[in-house]
Amino acid sequence: MLNVYRMEFTWYLLASWGVISAYIAWRPKLRNDASLFVFLIMSMAETIQFTMLALELKWIDYLKTPEAFINILLLRNVLRPVLYLFAASAFVQWTGWRRWSVLLGTLLSRHVVTWLSVRAGLIELVKINDWHVALLDVAHVALACFAAVGFLRYTRPKEAAG
């Protein structure tokens, strides 16, 4: 029987697509190549961080079924990296309260995604708590912003200089 409450994969897929469409509709100043660079870097950072925390340090644990892992992949490699694009774009194009409000929004969104993953049983925080997760949120958002700035300085030195 059809059970709409057991369609996690579809929900996560649509949520990821929703975040991508929101970013495109937002018409950010960060050009496509810089957006792609930040996406790739952050997707790699999230991936390596997950492996380190789950398999090497054992700070987190995760549900080791194929169905659950595919959901984790969607969150880790698509949804979260797209979230960072908002922060990176705001960091590059704005100053003042607009910049900081988008950065804070991205931090909160990442925290909520982690919290939802824990609630859904996809991951379990074993040796870390919410404060550690908050530090990871800050580290990832900062990495995304610096990656965008670094890429722009390297590829468009005149534009970056003003």
Partner 1 sequence: MTVWDHGGWNANEWFVLGFTLLGFGLVWLLPRRFTRSASTLFVLFGAYFGVLFDHAIAVEPFDFYDVNDTSAFTFMDFVTYVMYGPFGYVFLYIYDRLGLPKRWAPAYILVWTAFAIALEGWGAKLGVFHYKNGYEFDYSSSVYLTLQICMLGLYYGMRRGRTPNAK
Q: Which of 4, 158, 161, 162 binds partner 1 (CB under 8 A)?
A: 158
**Residue among 78, 85, 86 at smallest CA distance from 15:** 78
Q: Which of 40, 104, 126, 138 binds partner 1 (CB under 8 A)?
A: 40
Q: Is residue 83 exposed (0-12), middle (13-18) or buried (19+ Cβ within 10 Å)?
A: buried
Q: Is 41 one of the binding residues for partner 1 (CB under 8 A)?
A: yes
Q: Is 33 one of the binding residues for partner 1 (CB under 8 A)?
A: yes
Q: Is 24 one of the binding residues for partner 1 (CB under 8 A)?
A: no
Q: Which of 7, 14, 52, 104 binds partner 1 (CB under 8 A)?
A: 52
How wide is the angle at C-alpha 58 spanned by C-alphas 78 and 112, nearest 5°? 40
Could you tell me if 46 and 140 are in contact, meaning their C-beta atoms sit under 8 angstroms apart? yes
Q: Is 31 one of the binding residues for partner 1 (CB under 8 A)?
A: yes
Nearer to partner 1, 12 or 151 (CB): 151
Q: Is 130 one of the binding residues for partner 1 (CB under 8 A)?
A: no
Dig out the tokens for 51 from the structure.
């492996």
| CA 64/CA 97 separation, integer angstroms | 42
Q: Is 27 one of the binding residues for partner 1 (CB under 8 A)?
A: no
| CA 35/CA 124 separation, integer angstroms | 31
Q: Which of 11, 69, 94, 146 binds partner 1 (CB under 8 A)?
A: 69
Could you tell me if 30 and 92 are in contact, meaning their C-beta atoms sit under 8 angstroms apart? yes
Number of residues that bind partner 1 (CB under 8 A): 30
Q: Which residues bind partner 1 (CB under 8 A)?
A: 31-34, 36-37, 40-41, 43-44, 47-48, 50-52, 55-56, 64-66, 69, 73, 77, 151, 154-159
